[in-house]
Amino acid sequence: MNEILPPSPNADNRLQRLWQTITQPHPSLEDLKEQQYARLAISLVFVILLLNLSGFIASSLVNGLAEGLGGFGAPALGLLISYALTKTRNYRTGVFFFALIFGMSAYINIIRQGAAADISTNIFIFVPLSLIMASNFLSGWAVFLLVGLNIGAFVSLPLFGIPLPANAGGMAGILTTIGVTLMFLDNFKNKSESIRLAEIRKINRQLEELKGGLEQRVTERTAELDEANRHLQRRAAQLQTITQLSEAIAHYQDLTELFSAVTRLISEQFGFYHVGIFLLDNEKRFVVLQAANSEGGQRMLARAHMLEVGTGVVGYAAQTGQPRIALDVGADAVFFNNPDLPQTRSEAALPLKSRDEVIGVLDVQSTAAGAFSEEDLQVLTTLANQVAIAFENTRLLEETRAALNQMQEVYNEFTRTEWHRTVSLAEQAGFRYNAGRIEILEKELRTPEVVSAAAKGQPALRQAEGSEEKRPAVAVPVKLRGEVVGVLHIESNDPSKKWQEDDIRLLEAVAERAAFAMENARLFQDARRRAAKEQVISEASAKIGSALNLENILQTTAEELGRVLGGAEVLIQFQNKEADQ
């Protein structure tokens, strides 16, 4: 059994490309609708041309070539011309020529066939199709013209010896009706197309308006988002700057350095023309400038610039404890004109508070009018709080250091006094350890290294330098809380001994521990002496308190004082105020 193979895809593609080439409109037609109409017109004319050629071939085979040429020759020539015209830019000219030639073919056949011609058949084969074709591509007036030409050709048949049929009026009416109907249909189609086109245009306008509105909303929303993004970035940068400033400020432990750093950093990070810090005086009558970054601010510092509380933007903030912004210093009645800062156009003063009490003012000035917003005010207020905290911390640190230094000085003085008293009461100048024996120094050691160590509080060396009489020695001060209370002196038996850094550190560690041990021993002795005194006083007080009369009290008091003071003479005398007077 022979298998029927499906058509080759390549063959289909070739046929499709061939058909596309045959029906391709003129390339100058750019409008898509015109291209579609032109392609449809070309396709219809070409198909009718093929059908006409088929009829010509069939008629020629059956009736002979002469009959085929007579019946289909003229229409075929007209269709070829029409096809060629539809391939041009003015494709509607080809359609009109097709409708004219195709319609007239009916009358040519009637005249050629003579009295034997079937008028109705010839007319209704060619004329309606030509009119239908014209009505789809041409205007109503063109259809009206073609109808008129057909009616004129129909009624002109007797001139060629062709009698009109008995139903000539009906045929003329039918042709007229067909033409009028096609004209009305074409008019209706055009109006419908116009209405549809108007609706489409209206929809397009609405879509354009909607698109424009959406684009505007998108633009506005994008602008809002950009503004919000810029706002967030600016706020983040400000907060980051505050964090960086807080970290930088925390490193300063001196008020002068702190204030100078704050004004400089704020000016650099925020780009302000002038930044100054004022502090209230003790009487809280004036705010005194402590630091400034600008040249004018430096001149103000040099002359100890101050403002009375309540005067100007700074004085207002100091008096009320509330931030104050002057967006236009020329229009602000509170603004105090300052000749040292002539470029100022806007100013913000932020109170510095410690425990809800105003201690000063952070003054920020800009060369631009309206440079400060409410958001800037919040950021600057946060920054002012950080400055106030740093100031308070630094002030407390300085006070603590001053108190600590004072206590240290008092304690050192007490230590010096106590050790001076202890040394003065000691019966020996010191001790020496030599060859396994401990010896008492009869007199104070005054070698150069000992004198240097005692005076400078630093270890002093003595190298042998090849001498057998002078052995290598080192003197290490024995210090107690910075005060030299003694000297540790070491001599080496090795004449070639070179004192190393490790040796010195070891001796310093021993000297440090010796100092603490000596201090503990001194404190223990003092404690024992105070305990003994307290015991003696307690016993004397007990005996005096046990006496029952004034004579016994005085006698017991004299006896106890004599015993405590080691046999001293004790005299108790009453004071007579009247005799003194």
C-alpha 446/C-alpha 429 separation (Å) is 11
Do 430-537 and 255-401 have the same topology in CATH? yes
Domain ranges (residues) in the chain: 13-157, 255-401, 430-537
What separation in angstroms does the CA of 415 have from each of 188, 238, 446, 453, 488?
A: 125, 54, 23, 19, 19
- Within 10 angstroms of residue 134's Cβ, the number of other Cβ atoms is 28
Dihedral over alpha carbons 383, 381, 352, 339 (to 10 degrees): 90
C-alpha 96/C-alpha 349 separation (Å) is 90
What residues have CB less than 8 Å from 382, skipping those under 6 apart?
A: 242
**pLDDT tens, per residue, the chain with 581 residues:** 444 555 556 677 888 888 888 888 888 888 887 888 888 888 888 888 788 788 778 777 777 777 667 666 667 777 788 888 888 888 888 888 888 887 787 777 778 777 777 777 777 777 888 788 777 778 878 888 888 888 888 788 888 878 887 777 777 777 777 777 777 777 777 777 778 778 888 888 888 888 888 888 888 888 888 888 877 777 777 777 777 777 766 676 677 777 888 888 888 877 788 889 999 888 888 999 888 988 888 888 888 888 888 888 888 888 888 888 877 655 554 455 677 888 888 888 889 888 888 889 988 888 887 777 777 777 778 878 877 887 778 778 777 877 777 777 766 666 666 666 666 666 556 766 666 677 666 677 778 877 887 777 788 877 766 555 567 888 888 877 777 777 777 777 777 777 778 877 888 888 778 777 877 877 777 787 778 777 777 777 776 777 666 667 767 777 766 666 665 666 666 666 555 55
- What type of residue is 320? T
C-alpha 135/C-alpha 210 separation (Å) is 38
SS3 assignment, position 437: strand
DSSP type of residue 5: P
Has domain 255-401 been given CATH number 3.30.450.40? yes
Q: Which helix (H) or strand (E) holds 422?
A: helix 374-425
Q: In the CATH scheme, what is the homologous superfamily, with its name and number, of domain 430-537?
A: GAF domain (3.30.450.40)
Give me 166's structure tokens. Answer: 């008995």
Give 256-265's long-range contacts (Cβ < 8 A, gap of 24+): 256/291, 258/390, 258/391, 258/394, 259/290, 259/291, 259/391, 260/291, 262/291, 262/387, 262/390, 263/291, 263/292, 263/293, 263/297, 264/293
The label of the residue with tokens 């040099």 reads 302
- Within 10 angstroms of residue 353's Cβ, the number of other Cβ atoms is 17
Helices within 87-167 (DSSP H only): 91-113, 119-137, 140-155
Strand partners for 357: 354
Contact 372, 366 (CB under 8 A): yes
